[in-house]
Homo-oligomer: A and B are copies of this chain.
Amino acid sequence: MSKKPLILVTNDDSIEAKGIASLVEAVKPLGDIVVIAPDTVQSGKGHAITIHDPLRLKKSNVFPGIEAYTCSGTPVDCVKLGIYEVLKERPTLLVSGVNHGSNAATNVLYSGTMSAAVEGAIESIPSIGFSLLDYDADADFEASKLYAHKISEMVLKYPLQKGVCLNVNIPKGKMADLEGIKICRQGRAYWEDSFDKRKDPFGGEYYWLTGDYTYTDKGEDTDLWALSHNFVSVVPTHFDMTAHHLISNLNEEWDI
């Protein structure tokens, strides 16, 4: 009898979020599960790691019958603690999410959910980040659960190339509303930020970061296009940020 896959589950919305509960449900039939998730909300933490503060790790009973821990750090800290401290062997698969809100396009960089998956890729572990385009804490994760199951099964069947993870975003809606899966490239977009300037009760100024996500990419092969046409977007994502095509340009232009 072959051994069951070991699946590490994490997220950035904390162990209390509805999204991670649906992800645990989605992958439970596929292997042995260990959950290590932040003890507080870690949205927008990107690839941050905790180096100037101690980390706490605690057993959690949030998921009956499943080995689970909370960590005081970031999603990437959770992955590092999982691989190097908690798990007895390397996981077969790492899944992160399901995030409450989109991580499509350039949001991959700000996202704790996706940074956990990218950390998995750096560690040569097949990894997937899942996000639902619904920020509501009480969002309907039914379709996400089905897609998370299907895509995790596919990654177990067809191993990802070493160093690659998947950025999966799922439109809001019921299963019947969705058009299926599209393999995409990361769309180009940026946050047109605005700062809400306020005064604290003592007269001191402070700011809240807000903004509008602005698409500048008209391509029909992007995750932004797929999602706006009700497709589940899957972007194969790696951690090589080299703009390879510019190496020769710089060698030509620069006086070095």
Contact A190 B122, beta carbon cutoff 8 Å:
yes
A241 touches B (CB below 8 Å):
yes
Is the beta-carbon distance between B238 and A241 smaller than 8 angstroms? yes
Q: List the one stretch of A27-35, A77-85, A170-178 in contact with chain B.
A: A77-85
Q: Is the CB of B247 within 8 A of A77?
A: no
Inter-subunit contact B163/A188 (CB<8 Å) = yes
Q: Which of A60-68, A89-97, A138-146, A198-206 contacts B (4 or more CB under 8 A)?
A: A198-206
Given A54-B208, A205-B57, decide whether A47 and B49 contact each other with a Cβ distance below 8 A. Answer: no
Chain B residue nearest in CB terms to A43: B51
In the complex, the answer to whether B154 meets A254 with C-beta atoms within 8 Å is yes
Asked whether any CB of chain B lies closer than 8 Å to the CB of A181, the reply is yes
A241 and B237 contact, CB distance less than 8 A: yes
A251 at the interface (CB under 8 A from B): yes
**A81 and B254 contact, Cβ closer than 8 Å, known pairs A123-B190, A185-B242, A241-B186:** no
Q: Does A87 contact B (CB under 8 A)?
A: no
Measured between beta carbons, the chain B residues less than 8 angstroms from A191 are 80
Verify if A118 is at the interface (C-beta below 8 Å from B): yes
Q: Which parts of A205-228 form the interface with B (CB within 8 Å)? A: 205-209
Asked if A253 is at the interface (CB within 8 A of a chain B CB), the reply is: yes
A153–B256 alpha-carbon span in the complex (Å): 13
Q: Give the B-binding residues of A (Cβ under 8 A).
A: 41, 43-52, 54-57, 74, 76-77, 80-81, 83-85, 106, 108-110, 115, 118, 122-124, 154, 158, 160-161, 163-164, 180-186, 188, 190-191, 193-195, 197-198, 200, 204-209, 234-244, 246-247, 249-251, 253-256
Q: Which 5 A-B pairs have the closest CB atoms?
A: A46-B47, A54-B206, A236-B246, A236-B243, A238-B243
Excluding A182-B256, A186-B242, 8 further A-B contacts by CB distance (< 8 Å) are A43-B52, A57-B205, A57-B207, A83-B193, A158-B253, A184-B247, A185-B240, A241-B241
